[in-house]
Structure 1
Amino acid sequence: MEPVKITALEAENVKRVRAVELRPEKDGLTVIGGRNGQGKTSVLDAIAWALGGDRFKPSQPHREGSVNDPRLKVELSNGLVVERSGKNSALKVTDPSGKRAGQQLLNSFVEQLAIDLPRFMESSPKEKAKTMLEVIGVGEELYRLEAAERKAYDERTAVGTMERQKRALAEEMPFDPDAPAEPVSAAEAAREKAEIIERNAALAQERAKADGIGARMDAVENDMAEVDSQMARLAEQKERMRLELEAMARERSRMMEGLSGRAMEDTAEVDALLEEIDIINARVRDNQLRLAAIREADGLKERYDALTEQVEAARNEKLRLLEGAALPLPELSVDAGELTYKGRRWDGMSGSEQLMVSAAIVRALKPQCGFVLVDKLEQFDPQTLAEFGRWAESEGLQIIGTRVADDDTCAIVIEDGVSKAAPDGGQAAPAPMADPSKWVI
């Protein structure tokens, strides 16, 4: 089926339109010119209403001040004639044989976005990408690749952060290059110290015992003095005490002779050894912690590199998928779920690039719809406008657009709702086709 295009339009009393007739070019660009507020956009609204149905009916379709009802007539290249007229602007669709049809037939070949391009252009970046992926039929697979890439990218980012933090921590840790690789055992020195402490305790116990005997001797001597002065009759008892005292004296003398020359052992040397061992082991632990941190950082770096490979693999697979698809326009792509053109996202494209991308995608949505309506072409300079028209012509696409102008770029000029011929009688003849990738936009 050949793409259906608009061959003629008649519109009366629609919004700002008084009376407009238009026979657009079959292929390429037909520009409706005029100053602001003259009815250019009303012409596009009239076409959208005629072909798109009540969904596109203007909120105030009657021209202000007119006593006549709106009248629309659109002739299509497939022979259909679409009319709206009368008080209720009833739809009448007639095929070449004279049979009547309705909106359902129009909907079968009229792409909604072709008569409502702003809806596509104002959609979110992800919605635009989704629309294009529906056109080329790789949406589900591309979403899978996008998800895999995003997962690997996010994990790689987290791992990279952890690796940098761990390595920075390792660099801040103390390190002693002279410390041994393993901790030094303090068991032998500790055992020796324990034996010394045990011997010193026994010696201290004996000295305490000897001191206790000395104290008791003092007490006995005091008792003897008291007994001598007070109780002569206790002489016998005193004698026994004397003998006891002598025995204790001999015992003490013997013990003192045994203690003579013996001194408490000094643990300073062993204490110094233990302190040195503690210092060495602290250095060893510092080195081991730093080495563990570096090893962990190295492991994270390996994971980061592996995730980088996953990200690149997903991106390459995505590129292969898109390269193998029939794109509506060269250099269109999808990155991170958003539509891109020449590597730029939507908000990075020029206004003319956005229009060209939109027209190409919308046309691809329903190839049997051979036309697109475009408002506000004044953002194109004359050279780019001509290139845009030649691109549309090479694609067999009919574009009907409006532009604030009354020069030779216009097919007709609207003045106060009435169509008039452009200054040179119509749009200039198209120049040879240029490569769209070399456009200056």
Structure 2
Amino acid sequence: MKTSLIKIRTAFGVHETQISDKSVELTGKKGSGKSSVLDAIRYALTNRSDRDYIVKQGADEAEIIIETDTGLRIDRKRKVDMETSNLNLKENGLNVPRPQTFLDDIITPLQLNPVEFISKPIAEQNRIILNLIDYKWDMQTIQGWFGEIPQGVDWKQNILSVLDQIQAENGVYYQTRQQINSEKLFKRKAAEDIGLSIPDNFNAEKWEAYDTGAKYQELSKIQQENGKIQRAKMFRDSYESKLRGIQADRDISISNAKDAISAEREGLAKTIERLKAEIRAAEDKLSGLDSKYQDKVAVAEAEFNEAKAKLDADTGVANEYADRKPVDTAAIQSEISTAEAMKKHLNEYYRMVRMQQEVDDLQGKSDALTEKIELARKLPGQILKEAKIPVEGLTVEKGIPLVHGLPLSNLSDGEKLDLCVDVAISNPKGLQIILIDGAERLDDKSRAALYAKCKAKGLQFIATRTTNDDELKVTEL
């Protein structure tokens, strides 16, 4: 699509100017109206201007008309007392819906001021070039790729700059991963330090389930049984001495009885002699002494037999235990001691296990962020395969546009202007025009080469160049 007519009336500093379908160079001194012509064309196409006054001073209305060889007619008017313009856009006599959107689709910012482009900082140049890549995306696209909307991203950028910001070292994903990895290393070291204090092959489940109380009860029961065995042995070993004691008690009782009877017998004999009258009674009593003696002997024997029977009964109980072998409690005592020592490690062991689990969780989060970072690094290649690339040889590496493998910072001004020309003709449905304001900033060779390239590619251009001419001069090229 090419312009067949451009007509400007009382817009900016232009009273009235008309340009045909030819490429032209506008020359003259500063203030002669060269830039006003380009500003008017830009305003007609974009409805934007940095100037405070759109309508030429003294006029009531500004109007810019642009007609194309495809039947498109752009008629933009701006009244002096209005803050917005009126756009009438027709194609073959029919109104075009959403006229400004239609115009935005047939032009690019580079077409309207390529010389200004080469004076911008490299970062801004990169942004402008990346914005030319036609790839449809929205926040749902981001959600689908990353499962979330990453924080700390300027979403007004083009998609490649967005992805570069997502994967960048100062980005949220990278910084968060650094923090997670740092925390992971700290917890892993802490878990390792705890592990050094825990015995090798520590079986936490075994020592957690070990019932120390029950083992103590078992040990107490064994110790009680062992006590009975020991006491039984001591009791049995003392049987003979105890029996001798019982026998001695019996013999003493008999001896005492004998002595007592003898004394009494002697006393009674003396009494008989002394008391003849009591002889019969004494004799009767004397006759009963043998029986009395036998009774006392019987009592002593009965007491002996009773004591011996009790001793024999106790000895029988002792015999039940005395022949038993005491159970060795060293093993169970050692087991309990080991269990108590192991149980002291349980809290630290479980703290170590929790830390190890936290390390695993952090590793999972770190891996997930790594996947997202790698995805953000791989997506540009996929996008460039699917997107409409406006310039031949344009690629992107780490968010930086390259033209035939070279970053824009390595291109000369002439090569950058060539790039602008390539962009202008990259859209067959676009308006094939380029506005070059301030061509005097290029040397003669570069300027001539630029004009020649535009003509060779069938691109209409309107250039301004400051000269010493007093009046605005329009030269068709």
| TM-score computed with the length of structure 2 as normaliser | 0.45
Answer 1 or 2: which has greater helix percent.
2
Max Rg structure: 2
